[in-house]
Chain A
Amino acid sequence: MAPAAQFEVAQPPKDAISALSFAPGSSRRLLASSWDKNAYLYEVATGGEDAKLLGSFEHRAPVLDVCFGADENEAFTAGMDHQVKRIDLATGEQTVLSKHSAPVRCVVYSAEHSLVISASWDSTLNVHSTTNPSQQPLTIPLPGKPHALAASPSKLVVAMTARLVHIYDLPALASALASPAGSPAPQPWQQRESSLKFLTRAVACMPNDAGYSTSSIEGRVAVEWFEDSAESQARKYAFKCHRQAAPEEDGGGDIVYPVNALAFHPVHGTFASGGGDGTVALWDAEAKRRMRQYQRFPDSVAALAFSGDGRFLAIGVCPGFETGMEDYSGEGRTKLFIRELGETEAKGKGAK
């Protein structure tokens, strides 16, 4: 049996991790963005028992999201300083792609359409073309503040406050970007209301382009399908997770943790969820089963990422932000774990 080993990265970010992202393909490079104003580049060693820090890229303000571009030498970051940046990881050169009027919460790269899309708390999306850097980014107004963003091969899912979910068609965005300035902003392909009652925390798209899953601050995950037919919509479901029974002396009941991170396995199509309870669970979306739950991590799981070949799962752990916290700091308690998955560890059993 292939090893199922897990190790802790020796030089984790110095403050809370906001996002993790593996390079495309079979590359072993991993990016981590942190509230300590840096984006970190790691490479998992060939033996799979260590990850080396290749470099860090300092920003003016905390980095809220990071993703790879077309290859393992290109990265995009979303900064609290309102900027969307492209980083050449080989030279360390940073270029500003666009500027929002509020902190940028998320950034995603669509390899299929060579687009970089950023979402900011100024309630706009910026769509940038990587093939034509001189082109002005396309700005799309949103009805609410975006909190999570994810791209599938053909769709872009934006989750906002007030449980709004907009799904954009990526080819339509690409053509809107190419069309002359002044044309009307593209409309969402679908507008939905989240199946979850509470604030959306994370969104992830299925690698097979069939649907997506969302998670909320109230220990719940929903799985939905893109196709707008009655049958497909009837298949959607939601379930509770990342909860703990409260001790009896505290009145019993459940302590409900936010589900901070979701990530689909690129090969098997199963997905992982990471919650404020410090656990990571693997789910089979088709069979509606939990396949695995890993040993509790010392703090809240803030971010998750599968490597391009699905061999590794990166887990960012730092203290969770809870209601009423006045002095949050992830310093000293931020950790980065990398788990090498066994051959069939993330393989689902398929629908019943």
Chain B
Amino acid sequence: MGKKKRGHPDIEELLARPWCYYCERDFEDLKLLISHQKAKHFKCDRCGKRLNTAGGLSVHMNQVHKETLSNVENALPNRQGLDIEIFGMEGVPEDIIQQHNQRIIQNFYTAQAERQAATGNPPRGFSGGQGPAKKIKYETPEEIKKRLAEHRAKVAAQKAAGANGVPATAAPTDGQSPAQGTSPFPAPQPGYPYPAAPGSAAVAPYAANPAYPSTTSAFPPGASPPPGATTAPFPLPARPPSGSAAAAGAPPYFYNGAPAGFPAPGAPGAPPSTVDELVANAARQGNGPGGDDIDQMIRMAEAGIRPGATATAGKTEEAGTGEKKKKGTRMVYGDTEVSPEERMAMLPRYRWVEEAAA
């Protein structure tokens, strides 16, 4: 029991992941982060040259294109400044790192609590039968629904704000979403067999954290903001119980009470069930439709998928060994005795007759 990780990473693993100062995305390794930064934040929009830092891009713009770089592209509204020199994880201010870690921890415990609520399994490292995990009073479907609506409203508001330059705070489209007051991240339950999330109380009003102003005043009215900024990755919804876990034998009481409107597990629009999915969804949202292919490649690399068929000469074959007949290989030219030139030479078009010329 509880020995399998089931693809849920440890908190240490999550905290160790490198992440991007400009857009808060996290990555499998530093190389991917750096290539992300070069592609998304340090790329010259004039000539496509990828620089290593914002400063480098600024100098490049100045010298090559005689232009002044005013802000970092695709960055969160309050992180567009050129004053901080970022390369990979280097140069990120300490307080920003703290904020990020808190967010990760918060998300982690929320996610874990949900998993436990959904499966009824005791937390890892604790023997079964202690009970509290099962008895945790958790959000009712109505609450979840409400939070989902809040999240959607917020995303929509931000989109709208991004599109017309209206401050996001002014546009809660949905009457039931007092987006600023309540936290979308319920603090861990008291008496919970975990160390209380450090600073959980402080982080509770996370959405209202001044570090993440939800206004997009940084954009001039009418100007279209960089795609990454329209849906910032931070207001992720706390995750409802995992659909797949429920299908795999969750206590039925949970879904019995679910109203009909609640999205069925696995249905389109169903909430994500793993951290990875969540991250992937956030990434997808962040990119919008037609996210660019560098991101696609990074995601594939993260998932351990190699782009198919990278032919290298390294795959050498033993010269002279028997030919493996592959199914359906078709040779464009298959004559093993007569060369194409000889065949062409026989055509009337090219044929040369000695007598004719003599």
Q: Is the CB of B330 within 8 A of A246?
A: yes
Q: Among residues 298 to 330 in chain B, which have CB atoms less than 8 Å away from a CB atom of chain A?
A: 309, 311-317, 319-320, 323, 326-330
CB distance from A263 to the nearest CB of B (A): 16
A251 to B327, CA, bound (A): 9
Partner of A35, one of B330, B339, B350, B357: B350
Q: Is the CB of A217 within 8 A of B327?
A: no
Q: Is the CB of A197 within 8 A of B344?
A: no
Partner of A254, one of B320, B328, B343: B328
CB distance from A223 to the nearest CB of B (A): 8
A103 to B343, CA, bound (A): 12
B332 is an interface residue with CB less than 8 A from chain A: yes
Partner of A217, one of B330, B336, B349, B357: B336
* Chain B, Cβ-Cβ closest to A201: B339
Q: Among residues 235 to 255 in chain A, which have CB atoms less than 8 Å away from a CB atom of chain B?
A: 236-241, 245-246, 250-255
Interface-central residue, B327, B340, B344, B354, by most chain A CB under 10 Å = B340
A18-B331 in contact given A61-B352, A82-B354, A236-B319 (Cβ < 8 Å)? no
Partner of B331, one of A81, A105, A239, A323: A323
User: How many pairs, one residue from A and one from B, have CB atoms within 8 Å of each other in the complex?
Assistant: 138
Q: Among residues 244 to 296 in chain B, which have CB atoms less than 8 Å away from a CB atom of chain A?
A: none
* Chain A, Cβ-Cβ closest to B49: A1
CB distance from B103 to the nearest CB of A (A): 40
Classify chain B: how many residues form its interface, as a range.
Answer: 35 or more
Partner of A253, one of B316, B320, B328, B342: B328
Chain B residues positioned under 8 Å from A193 (CB to CB): 320
Q: Is the CB of A246 within 8 A of B328?
A: yes
B345 is an interface residue with CB less than 8 A from chain A: yes
Q: Is the CB of B332 within 8 A of A103?
A: no
A339 is an interface residue with CB less than 8 A from chain B: no
Chain B residues positioned under 8 Å from A219 (CB to CB): 331
Chain B residues positioned under 8 Å from A173 (CB to CB): none
CB distance from B230 to the nearest CB of A (A): 34
Q: Is the CB of A239 within 8 A of B335?
A: no
Q: Is the CB of B349 within 8 A of A323?
A: no
A145 to B354, CA, bound (A): 20
A221 to B323, CA, bound (A): 14
CB distance from B38 to the nearest CB of A (A): 16
A323-B332 in contact given A105-B341, A288-B312, A288-B316 (Cβ < 8 Å)? yes
Q: Is the CB of A253 within 8 A of B345?
A: no
Q: Is the CB of B344 within 8 A of A328?
A: yes
B334 is an interface residue with CB less than 8 A from chain A: yes
Q: Is the CB of B352 within 8 A of A60?
A: yes
Q: Is the CB of A321 within 8 A of B328?
A: no
Contact flags (1/0) for A72-93 with B, using CB distance below 8 Å?
Answer: 0000000011100000000000
Chain B residues positioned under 8 Å from A195 (CB to CB): 319-320
Q: Is the CB of B341 within 8 A of A239?
A: no
B194 is an interface residue with CB less than 8 A from chain A: no
Partner of A64, one of B313, B330, B341: B341
A290 is an interface residue with CB less than 8 A from chain B: yes
Q: Is the CB of B333 within 8 A of A62?
A: no
A231 is an interface residue with CB less than 8 A from chain B: no
A256 to B312, CA, bound (A): 16
Classify chain A: how many residues form its interface, as a range.
Answer: 35 or more
Chain A residues positioned under 8 Å from B354 (CB to CB): 81-82
Q: Is the CB of A256 within 8 A of B332?
A: yes
Interface-central residue, A61, A196, A326, by most chain B CB under 10 Å = A61
Majority secondary structure of chain A interface residues (helix, strand, loop or mixed): loop
B347 is an interface residue with CB less than 8 A from chain A: yes
Chain A residues positioned under 8 Å from B335 (CB to CB): 199, 217, 323
A62 to B350, CA, bound (A): 7
A276 is an interface residue with CB less than 8 A from chain B: yes
Q: Is the CB of A253 within 8 A of B326?
A: yes
A62-B345 in contact given A256-B330, A288-B312 (Cβ < 8 Å)? yes
Q: Is the CB of A257 within 8 A of B341?
A: no
Q: Is the CB of B345 within 8 A of A80?
A: yes
CB distance from A110 to the nearest CB of B (A): 23
A329 is an interface residue with CB less than 8 A from chain B: yes
CB distance from B128 to the nearest CB of A (A): 50
B94 is an interface residue with CB less than 8 A from chain A: no
B13 is an interface residue with CB less than 8 A from chain A: no
* Chain B, Cβ-Cβ closest to A258: B333
Q: Is the CB of A81 within 8 A of B352?
A: yes
CB distance from A351 to the nearest CB of B (A): 12
Partner of A80, one of B334, B340, B350: B350
CB distance from B222 to the nearest CB of A (A): 37
B337 is an interface residue with CB less than 8 A from chain A: yes
A12 is an interface residue with CB less than 8 A from chain B: no
A284 to B316, CA, bound (A): 13
A80-B352 in contact given A258-B340, A276-B333, A288-B314 (Cβ < 8 Å)? yes
Q: Is the CB of B313 within 8 A of A283?
A: yes
Q: Is the CB of B311 within 8 A of A290?
A: yes
Q: Is the CB of B311 within 8 A of A241?
A: yes
Q: Is the CB of B333 within 8 A of A238?
A: no
Q: Is the CB of B352 within 8 A of A276?
A: no
A104 to B254, CA, bound (A): 86
Q: Is the CB of A238 within 8 A of B344?
A: no
A255 to B309, CA, bound (A): 15
CB distance from B299 to the nearest CB of A (A): 24
Q: Among residues 86 to 129 in chain B, which have CB atoms less than 8 Å away from a CB atom of chain A?
A: none
A239-B336 in contact given A35-B350, A62-B352, A256-B330 (Cβ < 8 Å)? no
Q: A61-B357, A258-B332, A284-B313 are in contact. List 6 more A-B contacts (CB 8 A).
A: A61-B352, A198-B331, A199-B336, A241-B311, A253-B327, A323-B332
Interface pairs A-B: 9 shortest CB-CB = A253-B328, A195-B319, A61-B352, A237-B316, A321-B340, A251-B328, A239-B313, A256-B331, A80-B352
B interface residues with partner A (beta carbon < 8 Å): 309, 311-317, 319-320, 323, 326-337, 339-345, 347, 349-350, 352, 354, 357
- What are 23 A-B pairs with beta-carbon distances under 8 A? A60-B352, A80-B352, A103-B345, A105-B341, A145-B342, A197-B323, A198-B331, A199-B336, A199-B339, A201-B339, A217-B331, A221-B313, A222-B319, A237-B313, A237-B316, A251-B327, A256-B329, A283-B313, A287-B314, A320-B333, A321-B333, A322-B332, A323-B333
